Amino acid sequence: MVPWIRKYLPKTTKDIIGQSSSITHMKNFIKNFKQLKKKALLIYGPSGSGKTSSVYAISNEMNLEILEVNASDFRNKDLIDKTIGQSSKQQSLFMKEKLILVDEVDGLSGTKDRGGIQAIAKIIQNTSFPIICTATNPYEQKLSGLRSKCELVGLNELTYLNIFEKLKEICEKEKVKFEEIDLKSLSRRAAGDLRAAINDLQSLVSDGELKKEDVRELSERDKTETIIDALVRVFKIKDAKVASAAFDNVDEDFDQRFLWLDANLPKEYTRPEDLVRAYDALSKADVYRGRIRRWQHWRFLVYVNCLLTAGVATAKDGKYKEFVKYAPTMRLLKIWQANMKYQKRKAIAAKIAEKTHSSVKDAIKNTLPYMQVMMQKDKGMKTNLAEFFDLDKEEVAWMVK
Ligand SMILES: Nc1ncnc2c1ncn2[C@@H]1O[C@H](COP(=O)(O)OP(=O)(O)O)[C@@H](O)[C@H]1O
Ligand SMILES: [Mg+2]
């Protein structure tokens, strides 16, 4: 099977999404190369934004031959003279202009490549061919010598709509059945990386279809990964300020965060004193959580977050260096889910009890089951009862489930 990232490689610059001004900049650089002072471009941008494919698309369009070399190749003077020197002779034979591409100059590491980067910087000064380098982060220390010799061109981080557009086009060409909402969710997940998005899409499509469950499962996996990152921050770091931002990117609600912390804390904090202090922070957080629930004191949320993060982080005397595999405990999760279900039932029963002047217990036992049956059987009854007892959407859904 052909990887779609290869199959849908942009052939001309028209196929490149979201980078038109940088493309123009690159084309002008090649056209005006002879008159320019700076003989190289440093194209930078996030992974999967189109750095490499832009260079290839432009060279197709302008009928250039690309010579792709590694940064470390530049240390080898013979090789450089051979490739660049020889190609200058070939130029007259094939009448094709050359373009030198040094892809991912920042990707290589170590002293070997450092030497290579210095060598490119030198060659740029008297090259007779346009040189284009690419990097994800052009401001890295090791690129400083190169940076000053190049003109910098930044590619945009692709928006999720940019990505959605491309995925949709691919689905249509591949005759894949999909729902827009799922493609959008994949597009958002890619966080600007079109290569990753196309790969995800290809790996999820089966039997000519993008299945909802598969997209959902992937996003569940992401959620788990972000919560694990958050746990690492809370457990491994002692700095209160850094720790307090741990859950900033986590979507899961406070109940879920409690469960994860609670379940994994004893695996991480093996010194009893640390454990005691950490659980103390958790239990204080739990008290505030209870007050929020009961009295809707939302300002306590700040305290809950502080105790969960900084509270737990600073509870340890020293850092724990061992690697710990964090996991949600299914048992706790099940209890919690059952509790939530029970709470919904209790909340509904409380509303019934109030209107019928009976006790909550009574309502659960006698009224609620009948109401459930009636609401499930009759749509009109469903709306009427929901209105009469002032049930919200979730409660109605629970009743007819
Ligand atoms: N701006 C873009 N327009 C169209 N396709 C793109 C774009 N960016 C990336 N792609 C797709 O993603 C893949 C990887 O792109 P590439 O140019 O290698 O990214 P980079 O070099 O920035 O990491 C390509 O196969 C291409 O299909
Ligand atoms: Mg690339």
Residues 147 and 238 in one domain: no
13 pLDDT exceeds 90?
A: yes
Residue where a domain stops, chosen among 295, 312, 328:
328
pLDDT tens for each residue of 167-179: 999 999 999 999 9
What local confidence, expressed as pLDDT, does residue 186 receive?
94
Residue where a domain stops, chosen among 307, 328, 349:
328
Write the DSSP symbol of residue 182: H
What local confidence, expressed as pLDDT, does residue 2 receive?
84
CA 337 to chain centre: 27
Q: How many domains does the chain have?
A: 4
263 pLDDT exceeds 80?
A: yes
Residues 204 and 118 in one domain: no
Nearest ligand atom owner, CA of 155: 1
Whether residue 205 lies inside any domain: the answer is yes
Residue where a domain stops, chosen among 328, 361, 392:
328
Residues 313 and 179 in one domain: no
What local confidence, expressed as pLDDT, does residue 132 receive?
96
Give, in degrees to the nearest 5, the angle at Cα 370 between 366 and 373: 155
Comparing C-alpha atoms, which of 119, 87, 118 is closest to residue 100? 87
Residues 19 and 125 in one domain: yes
d(CA 277, CA 274): 5
Q: Which residues surround ligand 2, an ion (CB under 5 A)?
A: 51-52
What local confidence, expressed as pLDDT, does residue 333 receive?
65
Whether residue 350 lies inside any domain: the answer is yes
CATH number, domain containing residue 150: 3.40.50.300
Residues 198 and 251 in one domain: no
Give, in degrees to the nearest 5, the angle at Cα 251 between 247 and 252: 90
How far from each other are the two terminal CA atoms of the chain, in whole angstroms? 43
Comparing C-alpha atoms, which of 24, 115, 125, 16 is closest to residue 73? 115
Encode 342-362 in three state secondary structure: HHHHHHHHHHHHHHHCCCHHH
Scanning 132-211, the segments in alpha helix (DSSP H) are 144-147, 160-174, 180-189, 194-204
Q: What is the mean pLDDT of residues 187-202?
A: 93
What local confidence, expressed as pLDDT, does residue 198 receive?
95
Q: What is the mean pLDDT of residues 250-274?
A: 89
What local confidence, expressed as pLDDT, does residue 332 receive?
63
Give, in degrees to the nearest 5, the angle at Cα 88 between 82 and 94: 120
Tokens of 333: 């999760």
pLDDT tens for each residue of 92-102: 555 678 899 99
Write the DSSP symbol of residue 311: I
Residues 35 and 107 in one domain: yes
91 pLDDT exceeds 60?
A: no
Check pocket membership of 19 for ligand 1, CB cut-off 6 A: yes
d(CA 120, CA 192): 30
Residues 10 and 133 in one domain: yes
CA 19 to chain centre: 21
Q: What is the mean pLDDT of residues 129-133?
A: 93
Residues 182 and 313 in one domain: no
Residues 96 and 187 in one domain: no
Whether residue 218 lies inside any domain: the answer is no
How large is the angle between the packed helices 254-268 and 330-356, nearest 10 degrees? 150
Residue 267 Cα to ligand 2 middle (Å) = 41
d(CA 31, CA 166): 29
3-state secondary structure of 96: coil
Residues 9 and 120 in one domain: yes
What local confidence, expressed as pLDDT, does residue 329 receive?
61
Whether residue 219 lies inside any domain: the answer is no
111: buried, middle or exposed (CB in 10 Å: 19+, 13-18, 0-12)?
exposed
What local confidence, expressed as pLDDT, does residue 47 receive?
92
Whether residue 216 lies inside any domain: the answer is no
Whether residue 215 lies inside any domain: the answer is no
Residues 12 and 83 in one domain: yes
For atom 4 of ligand 1, which residue has the closest CA?
16
Whether residue 32 lies inside any domain: the answer is yes
Give, in degrees to the nearest 5, the angle at Cα 238 between 233 and 240: 85
For atom 27 of ligand 1, which residue has the closest CA?
9
Structural domain range at position 10: 4-154
The dihedrals phi and psi of 126, each to the nearest 5 degrees, come to: -130, 45
For atom 5 of ligand 1, which residue has the closest CA?
16
Strand blocks (E) in 45-171: 64-68, 97-102, 131-135, 150-154
Percentage of residues in the chain having pLDDT higher than 70: 92
What local confidence, expressed as pLDDT, does residue 85 receive?
60
pLDDT tens for each residue of 205-217: 999 999 998 998 8
What local confidence, expressed as pLDDT, does residue 35 receive?
93
pLDDT tens for each residue of 295-346: 888 889 899 999 999 999 999 999 898 888 887 666 666 666 777 778 888 8
Bridge partner list, 209: 177, 206
Whether residue 353 lies inside any domain: the answer is yes
Q: What is the position in ligand 1's atom list of the atom closest to the CA of 46?
A: 22
Residues 351 and 287 in one domain: no
In a mutational test of the pocket of ligand 1, which residue from 20, 49, 53, 55 has the highest number of ligand atoms less than 8 Å from its CB?
A: 53
For atom 8 of ligand 1, which residue has the closest CA?
50
